[in-house]
Amino acid sequence: MVSRLEPVRVDAVLAAREYWDAEGASWLAELLPAVRHFLKAHADHEIRFGDDEELDIPGSDDPALLEWVMAAGFVLTELPRYYAECLRIRTWDEVIARLEAAKHPPRWWADEELRRAARINFETLIAGPVPPRSDEAV
């Protein structure tokens, strides 16, 4: 149904009952509704499955990384879009407070150039209209 590096046929995945059976795994049962929402929201896009190196996802030292957000709500690396769009943080000072209190801040926080790029990215995001959260009706 889903082949590595090939475009995902969203309609086929959404229609496949076996794909949506968590088989008793609570973590998967929690994740699947977000996956379904993501697939529906991005059905017009070319979605692919694979490792970040294979898919040309920006590396941790690339300011382009700061444009990404994990829409499913399971965030491995907090990025400016996550603060602005998911957490609804409205000031850079709030971002600083969150990161300074974090047990494990994201790697980009320790890099002065990436931190500057993150601030610019965040402030650009909050300057525009507040987008609906992924869990709000569109």
**Mean pLDDT over all residues of the chain?**
81
pLDDT band at 138 (very low <50, low <70, confident <90, very high): very low
- Residue 126's pLDDT is what? 92
What was the pLDDT predicted at 76? 61
pLDDT tens for 82-128 read: 899 888 999 999 999 999 998 888 888 999 999 999 999 999 999 97
Q: Identify the CA nearest to 131 among candidates 64, 73, 84.
A: 84
Tokens of 69: 């957000």
What integer pLDDT is reported at residue 30 of this predicted model? 85
| Residues in Cβ contact with 71 at an 8 Å cutoff, skipping those fewer than 6 apart | 34, 37, 38, 41, 42, 134
pLDDT at 72: 47
